[in-house]
Amino acid sequence: MNIFATLGQDIVRLWNDYASMYLNGIWNTLSLAVVCTIVGCLIGLLCGILNTIPYSKNDNIFKRFFLRLVRILIQIYVEIFRGTPMILQAVVIYYGLPYFTNQAVRFHSIWLCAFLVVSINTGAYMAESVRGGIISIDPGQTEGAKAIGMTHWQTMIHVILPQALRNILPQIGNNLIINIKDTSVMSIIGFTEFFAIHKNVAGTTYLYFPSAAIEMIGYLTLTLISSFILRRIEKKMEGSDTYELTQDDMLTLAAGTYRLDKKPEDLVERNLEGGNAK
C-alpha cells in the first residue's frame, strides 16, 4: 500500500506542477491526429477513385497510358509509406530532404513537417481501404447508373461513394485512433506532442514511471472517447434494418418494393391486424 500511496503522491505532484505542459501536449497530439486523419482520408479517397477508373482496349491509347501510369505511381506510393515506419519517414523528410537538395529545401516549421508525414502515411493506408470499399459495392449499381446516362464521376459521387464511405467508416475511425498514438514518434523531429512532454518532464524530475502513468491515462482517455464518438456515428449511419413489403399501392406490390419501418413494434402490430382482418 505504501508503494501505491507513494506513486499516487508523485502523480499528483507531477500533475500539479506540469499540468499545463501535459494539456498542451494533449492538444497538440489531438489536433495533429484529427487534421491529418481528415487530410489523409481525402488523399486516400482521391487515390481510391483514380485506382478504380475503368478502361478497356477500345479506349484512347493516351487514356490507357495515363491510367496505367497513375495506378503504378499510386501503388509505389502506397507500398513505400505502408512498408516503412512512420518514424523513419519523419527522419527522411525532415533531415534527408535538405541533405539531398543541398540545403535548398528546409522545413522551417516542425508542425508542417509533422502534418505532412502523418497525412501522407494515413493517405497510403486509406487508399487501399477506399479501393476495397468501392470494389465491395455491387457492380450492378454501377451498370444501372451508366444505363441511365451517368458518367463515371457522377456514378462515383452520387451512387458508389455514399455507400463505400459507410463501409469504410470503421477503418477511418481505426486510423484516427492509430494516429492519436503514433503521433508520439514525431518527437524525433522535435514536435512537442504528448509523449515529448513526458520525456521532458521525466528528464527533469527523474520520475519516469509516474509521468508514464499520466501518459497512459491520457492516451487511454483520448482513444476511449474517440471510440465512443465513432461508434455513435457508425450506429447513426447504419439506420434501421427492419423492412416490410409495401402494400399501400397495388402497382408496387408486384414489383417487390420495400419500405423502411423505423419502429419494429409497428411492424408486429401491422401483421397482427392483418391476421385478425382475415
Task: Examine the pLDDT at 246 and tell me if it is beyond 70.
Answer: no
Length, in residues, of the chain: 278
For 50-95, the pLDDT digits (tens) are 888 877 778 788 888 888 999 999 999 999 999 999 999 998 888 8
H-run or E-run covering 144: helix 139-147
Residue whose C-alpha is closest to residue 193's, from 124, 125, 113, 95: 113
State yes or no: pLDDT of 278 exceeds 50: no
Would you place residue 21 in the very low, low, confident or very high pLDDT band (cuts 50, 70, 90)? very high
Q: What is the model's pLDDT at position 253?
A: 47
- Verdict on whether the full-model pTM lies above 0.85: no
Tell me the three cell numbers of residue 209.
514511471
Cα–Cα distance list, 251 to 245, 246, 258, 260 (Å): 12, 10, 13, 18
DSSP string over 48-82: HHHHT----TTS-HHHHHHHHHHHHHHHHHHHHHH
User: Mean of the per-residue pLDDT values for the chain?
Assistant: 82
Lowest mean pLDDT among 35-39, 126-130, 233-237, 264-268: 264-268
User: What is the rounded CA–CA span in Å between residue 117 and residue 84?
Assistant: 12
pLDDT of residue 179: 93
Would you say residue 256 has pLDDT above 60?
no
3-state helix, strand, coil in the chain (%, to 5): 80, 0, 20
